[in-house]
Structure 1
Amino acid sequence: MSSVWSFFKVSEEDPRYAVCNECEGRVMRGGVRAKSFNTTNLITHLKNKHPGAYKEYEKSANANKQWKKANATAAAPVGSPIEQALEKTKKFHKDHPKQKALTMAITKMITVDDQPFLLVEDEGFREVLDLAEPRYDKPSRRYFADVALPALHDGVATHVHKLLDSDVNDISFTMDIWSSYLNQTSMLSLTAQWIDVNFEMKRAVLHAQEFPGSHTGTAIASAFDAMFTEWKIQKENVHVVLRDNARNMVKAMEECGVKSLGCMAYLGQLAVHDAVLSQQSVVDSLAIARKIVGHFKSSSLGTSRLRDIQRETGMKTKLLQQDVPTRWNSTFLMMTTLLEQKRALVMYEADHGMPVSLNANQWSLIEKMTTLLAPFEEMTREISSHTATAADVIPSVVALKRFLNKTAETDSGVKTTKYKDRYFDADLKQVAKNKLEKEVDKMTASVTTSTSATDGHTPDREEGEPQEKRMCTQREGHSFLDMFDEILEEKEPDEQVHGYLSEPTLPRNVSPLQYWQSNKTHFPALATVARKYLSAPCTSLDSERLFSAASNVVSEKRNRIGTERAEMLLFVKHNIRLLPKTGKAKG
């Protein structure tokens, strides 16, 4: 923290200003957004208006520099035991490594744990800090909100920029719009997903920004263009955007000029609803089921009695689950819990009665529905996992269709899924193979062009650098004899596709990213294609998960939080895991 803050404090009325302790004048902190705050105007104000205070600031700043240099490593206190004891009671200097480390740790805790900034002024929290480290000079909540959080945000944003700039050619995205019922704020999300050169999947939240006004396709497209510009992402590097199937979203992606796909989980929701849950007999049975669950949700006495029956019959005490009609898997869960508690419910009805009840035919129908929907629920869980990619879509759909065509419901033979071309019929196999070869040819041409551009004297090569030196640098870490094996392993593009398709299929529990990490030198062009296409997720759930977190950020405890600060909190919360681990501060 700059020494200039000894002469200023953050304005309580408007955090964009600092109040001078000398003249109580308000000084702009360098911008309207917290990200752009700095101390330049504050230092200039002291220099022009308060020369004496400015000299004190310069003396303090120079002393800080000397102190930091002399205390780069925390030395043990010297002197008598009394002097050492007194030293331990002194508050840390603002630039002390332990002071900075504790402030950063508290800022991370507020962000990751969705705590309000007011926490740092709570009596219990301050008592814990005093006990853990009495030398820590506790900043105000204003400092954490206006200084510490923007600084942490800038550090995380710089690292994400660095990751995106490091040999990333193809990026996939998810997007969604969320509205808070607490303060009527709408936010537009943009999450990125890509595969690095080591075939590790990387994910980052780029935006969760305020989106006021009408949510038209044109407005969404304009916002996306601004997001891509801010992150310096070229549209030719956008592999695909996962979105919901709303018309404004489809139109937005068309106007934005990027490829997009509908969320598979959303399409599954529509398929199950239209084909199964919309049938009148099912609708009637589910209406009764919801009333039964609602009876126990609204009656503590009924819940207590049901638990007594569960204990008496040796059943696990379990609450019934209410569904959300727009989420078919929650309806599946409700039906499953009802079937599990059928015996207890029948006994409850006999002893105490219920407003409504299911007849034998309706119980049988619910049982058949759960059997029918079980593979859909299993597939939804599979495609919604963090490891799922667009490559799982066709295998999942084909396996599900085959399962549903089985006459024996207990047949589990189709649950073993394999990769490559097994999920295409004869005609589609050839079409898919042709497209794959075309994509490999394109990648190979791109690599060849890039390689030839670096041969000889090019702008990328530093002036005056000898050709021999450059080639020696490229070969560093390799033996000349290794080149013989490398040449023998190299395959032409068509040979790569043929060789890949001729290999044994992988067990389903083997990660395709692990496979390509091991085979990227064996099939180099195909590996490049794999990095592009495997980056795409199956669903837009990353954005939905983001807004589940947003409901915690904009919560009852933080219902007055501004959208700019909410975006910073969401950004840091989801991206802080990308930062490299740091060592503990000494003190």
Structure 2
Amino acid sequence: MSSFFRLPEKRSCAEEDSAKENEPAAKKKCRSYVWKHFSQLEGNSAKCLLCSQVYKTGGNTTNLINHLKRSHPTTITTPKSEQTLGSFLNVATTKGDALGSTRKAKLDEALMKMVATDLQPFRVVEDTGFRNFVRCLDPQYVLPSRTTLSSVLLENLYGEMKRKLNVMLENVSHCAITTDGWTSRANDHYLTVTCHFVTDTFQIKSAVLSTNKLLCETNQNSENIAESLRAILVDWNLFHKVTSIVTDNASSMIKACTLLEKRHLPCFAHTLNLIVQDALISESVKDVLSKCKRIVGFFKSSSNAYAKLKTAQTNNECYGLVQEVATRWNSCHKMIVRILKIRDAVSRVLLETMKAPPPLTAEEISVLTDLEYILGPFDEATNRVSGSTYETISLIIPVSADLHHRLSSMDNLIKTTEGFEVRNALLNGINRRLFEYEGRSVTKVATMLDPRFKKEAFRSASNADSAVEAIRKEMAGMTNLKVSEPPTHTENNAYFSFMQSKIANKIKTPMSDAIIVLRQYLEANHATPNISPLDYWKVQDIRMESLKKIALKNLCVPACSTESERTFSRAGCIVTDRRAALKAKNVDKLVFTSKNQWLSEI
């Protein structure tokens, strides 16, 4: 055989062993720095030593490194063995590293606040237009994933805001809550609870505590509501601090407060709306209101008619029409006001349009004019007592008396029989539904301790006297009551020395001290109407300390459950058709962070 095809010579075992011994030793593989923060588990998985999260490794450390970058950016360090030429030249190897972990964390937090405040879905970080916009602002910023937004950034923001609110509530002696239930677009029933309290700087604050499903999702009875409320209040350590619970007039809510042994206050705005709705079902005005609703519905359903309506308005401003919704407060009054404002344009378009409803007659216009005037005070009263940044509980009694007085003084201004019938029905509703607030403890005490009103806001003198007596008894039960006394002289004076022992042995009782302090307050001049009651009590000295405590205890109670209603509106914008699959826990956190943005400023 030719030498060209000669096979290689076979080496002996001894020769092979000698060759292996002469080969250089294989370089030991360097262990990644991530294992300083992870412990290796069975089945190709690892557990984070910082937050106990478990991740699959898949034969590499990519998942582990990404977790550290997302959740623990300050722990990331690059060993010398893993440094590259770029890091040697102080040039970051990735966009996130170039941005810096501190700035990246701030931008991530700002992004999460934007999502919560502007009610954006988590998937906004995947939208092409938004990603291009962020890239133009800062090419080095790497957007977090939607999973990071929901599971990490939202959790961090919620935890920080909840911690701040907990610290504030720990220093509060008394608070009040409002609560109501609502159903989302995904047909899930939620219970929202808001808290109202006075801060150490004498400011009214409102905060959403929870927006969660009931403990038993298949039952909405009073027992289930009561236990769900108890669990929320115990979780926030507020159960013993709650003085009143404000809800609508639903029987299940009233019974739930009874089961919790907490004072219930019916929402004043709901009560006003019930009075108006009862008056407007009168046969004398039902037809004209139904006609107004048909006219508004016609323009709402026809784009051509709506365009003609805008063109027919001769002034510079173009107004649309407002439809009445029974569950929306004062919507009937708003519908009437808008129709009367542009009635000439409405009539012109209706007469010129085929198949349009007939326009309003002169008699019907007169009825609507009376209704606008009669319902106006109710609209003003609802807006006045629905605030959340000032004291409203002390307004209930004077507002009720003012409504009765204004309606009773309209005899010379009402022109139609229908107007008189509605006015009388409203007066009956006020007598039946509103005047009972004078007998409730929290409303009469709060009104008496409002320096703008005192006894003069009450229609009944007996109710005013009972409020004074309730305050006096509560003051007498306080052990730290302070009363102003004349200064005593310690100098030795032989004159009138027989009186010294009598003065020293004079018996003082808590009730007598309470009478003196309360009399000083009631006989003082009334505060001006534009002063805040909390500002008044803030500057009072030690002599009024007992009254101040009682005032703060009662003035924190809201007159209405409107804060829960506002939360429903915000939650409805969060749980949209685009976000109907949101988990209940994320709904709660998003509502909390969205409604309590003022906490982030602390």
Band the TM-score falls in, shorter-chain normalisation:
0.7 to 0.9
Structure 1 CA distance for aligned equivalents of residues 62 and 283 of structure 2: 80
Q: Does 1:577 align with 2:589?
A: no
Shift of residue 557, structure 1, vs aligned partner: 2.1
| Alignment partner of 1:295 is 2:295 | no
Measured at CA, do residues 407 and 269 of structure 1 come closer, stay the same or move farther in structure 2, by a change above 3 Å?
Answer: closer
Q: CA deviation at 1:447?
A: 7.0
C-alpha deviations, 1:144-200, integer Å up to 9, x for none? 11111111111111111111112x1111000000101x2111110111001122211
Query: Retained in 1: the 8 A contact 2:197–2:556?
Result: yes
Aligned 1:92-131 pairs, distance under 5 A: 92=97, 96-131=101-136
Tell me if the contact between 1:92 and 1:137 (Cα under 8 Å) persists in the aligned partners.
Answer: no
- Alignment correspondent of 2:179: 175
Partners in 2 of 1:542 and 1:100 — Cα distance? 32
Q: Is 1:278 matched up with 2:290? A: no
Q: Is the 8 A contact 1:4 1:39 kept in 2?
A: no
2:527 alignment counterpart: 506
Listed one character per residue, the Cα deviations across residues 545-580 of structure 1 (whole Å, up to 9, x for unaligned) are: 001100011012211111111111011112231234
Report how many aligned residue pairs link the two structures.
491
Aligned to 1:269: 273
Match of 2:401 among 381, 398, 414: 398
Please give the TM-score of this superposition, normalised by the length of structure 1: 0.76
Change (3 A) 1:141 1:4: farther
Give the deviation of 1:410 after TM superposition.
Answer: 7.3
Alignment equivalent of 2:378, drawn from 376, 379, 385: 376
Going from structure 1 to structure 2, the CA distance change for 1:222 and 1:401 (only over 3 Å counts) comes to same
- One-letter amino acid of the structure 2 residue matched with residue 335 of structure 1: I
Q: Measure how far apart 1:348 and its partner are.
A: 2.7
Superposed CA deviations along residues 399-440 of structure 1, whole A, max 9, x for unmatched, are 1111112146679xxxxx941111223322222211121222
**Worse overlay, 90-99 or 421-430:** 90-99
**In structure 2, what is the Cα distance between the partners aligned to 1:515 and 1:540?**
26
Q: Which residue of the partner structure matches residue 320 of structure 1?
A: 321
Please provide the CA RMSD for this pair: 3.7
TM-score (norm 2): 0.74
Gaps of 5+ in 2: 1-32, 79-84, 415-450, 483-511
2-side partners of 1:289 and 1:262: how far apart?
Answer: 31
How far apart in 1 are the matches of 2:132 and 2:370? 58
2:346 corresponds to: 345
Give the counterpart letter for 2:593 in structure 1.
V
The 1:53–1:332 alpha-carbon spacing in structure 2 relative to 1, beyond 3 Å, is closer
Inter-CA distance 258–5: structure 2 relative to 1 (3 Å threshold) = farther
Counterpart of 2:359?
Answer: 357
TM-fit CA distance, 1:394:
0.4
Q: Tell me which residue corresponds to 2:548.
A: 527
Pair 1:429-2:482 in alignment: no
Equivalent runs, 1:86-485 vs 2, <5 Å: 86-87=91-92, 90-92=95-97, 96-166=101-171, 168-180=172-184, 182-211=185-214, 212-235=217-240, 237-274=241-278, 276-311=279-314, 314=315, 316-352=317-353, 354-386=356-388, 387-407=390-410, 418-424=452-458, 425-442=460-477, 444-445=478-479
Question: 2-side partners of 1:339 and 1:315: how far apart?
Answer: 17
Quick one: which amino acid aligns to residue 237 of structure 2? K
Cα distance in 2 for residues equivalent to 1:304 and 1:58: 56
- Checking the alignment, whether the CA contact within 8 Å between 2:99 and 2:141 is kept in structure 1 is no
* Greater Cα offset, 212-221 or 315-324: 315-324
1:66/1:104 Cα in 2 relative to 1: closer, same or farther (>3 Å)? closer
Aligned-pair distance for 1:128? 2.5
Q: Indicate the percent of aligned positions where both proteins have the same amino acid.
A: 27
Amino acid at match of 1:173: I
The alpha-carbon distance between structure 1 residues 115 and 21, as it changes in their structure 2 partners (threshold 3 A), is farther
Over 3 Å counting, the alpha-carbon distance change for 1:529 and 1:208 in structure 2 is: same
* Higher alpha-carbon deviation: 388-397 or 52-61: 52-61
Tell me: CA distance 1:203–1:328, structure 2 relative to 1, closer, same or farther (3 Å): closer
Q: Secondary structure at the match of 2:178?
A: strand
Picking from 43, 52, 65, the partner of 1:40 is 52
Aligned-partner SS, 1:91: helix
In 1, distance between residues paired with 2:72 and 2:586?
Answer: 33
Query: Alpha carbons of 1:40 and 1:66: their partners in 2 closer, same or farther (altered >3 Å)?
Result: closer
Alpha-carbon separation, structure 2, partners of 1:121 and 1:51: 27
Distance 1:58 1:228, change over 3 A: closer
Which residue of the partner structure matches residue 23 of structure 2?
A: none
Runs of 4+ in 1 over 4 A off after TM superposition: 3-8, 20-25, 27-30, 49-68, 86-90, 407-411
Do 2:296 and 2:323's aligned partners in 1 also have CA atoms closer than 8 Å? yes
SS in 1 for 2:456: coil
Distance 1:292 1:541 in 2: 30
**Aligned CA distance change for structure 1 residues 279 and 176 (closer, same or farther; 3 Å):** same
**In structure 2, what residue type is equivalent to 1:376?**
F
Given the alignment of the two structures, is residue 557 of structure 1 paired with residue 578 of structure 2, yes or no? yes
Assess, with a 3 A threshold, how the Cα gap between structure 1 residues 572 and 501 changes in structure 2: closer, same or farther.
same
SS of 1:539's partner is coil
1:15 aligned partner: none
CA distances 1:244-303 after superposition (whole Å, capped 9, x unpaired): 1111111111111211111001111111111x2010121111110000111111111111
CA distance in 2: counterparts of 1:259 and 1:432, whole angstroms:
16
1:190 counterpart SS class: strand
CA contact (8 A) 1:114 1:553 kept: yes
Q: CA deviation at 1:445?
A: 2.3
- Structure 1 pair 301/200, CA: closer, same or farther in 2 (3 Å)? same
- What displacement does 1:55 show? 12
Which stretch of structure 1 is more off in the superposition, 250-259 or 345-354? Answer: 345-354
Answer whether contact 1:265 1:380 (CA < 8 A) is retained: yes
Matched to 2:284, the amino acid is S
* Structure 1: gaps of 5 or more residues: 9-19, 31-37, 69-78, 412-416, 449-490, 582-587
In the aligned structure 1, how far is the partner of 2:254 from the partner of 2:177? 14
Check 1:277–1:23 CA distance in 2 against 1; reply closer, same or farther (3 A cut). Answer: same
Say if 2:346 and 2:359, in contact at 8 Å, map to a contact too: no
- SS of the equivalent of 1:557 reads helix
CA distance in 1, matches of 2:36, 2:128: 25
Deviation by residue 1:295-315 (Cα, 9 ceiling, x = unmatched): 11111111122222213xx36
Aligned mates of 1:112, 1:542 — CA distance in 2: 17
* Matched residue SS, 1:194: strand
Q: Please give the secondary structure, in 1, of the residue aligned with 2:396.
A: helix
Where does residue 3 of structure 2 map in the other structure? none
Closer, same or farther: CA 28–280 of 1 in aligned 2, 3 Å: farther
In structure 2, distance between residues paired with 1:497 and 1:376: 34
Counterpart secondary structure, 2:163 = helix
1:63: how far off? 11
Would the aligned equivalents of 1:91 and 1:134 in 2 still touch at CA under 8 Å? no
Amino acid at match of 2:387: S
How far apart are the structure 2 equivalents of 1:143 and 1:131?
Answer: 22
Structure 1's 520 and 287: CA in aligned 2 closer, same or farther, altered over 3 A? farther
The residue type equivalent to 1:375 in the other structure is P
Distance across 1 between alignment mates of 2:358 and 2:600: 55
CA distance in 2 between counterparts of 1:331 and 1:59 reads: 57
In 1, Cα distance between equivalents of 2:35 and 2:574: 29
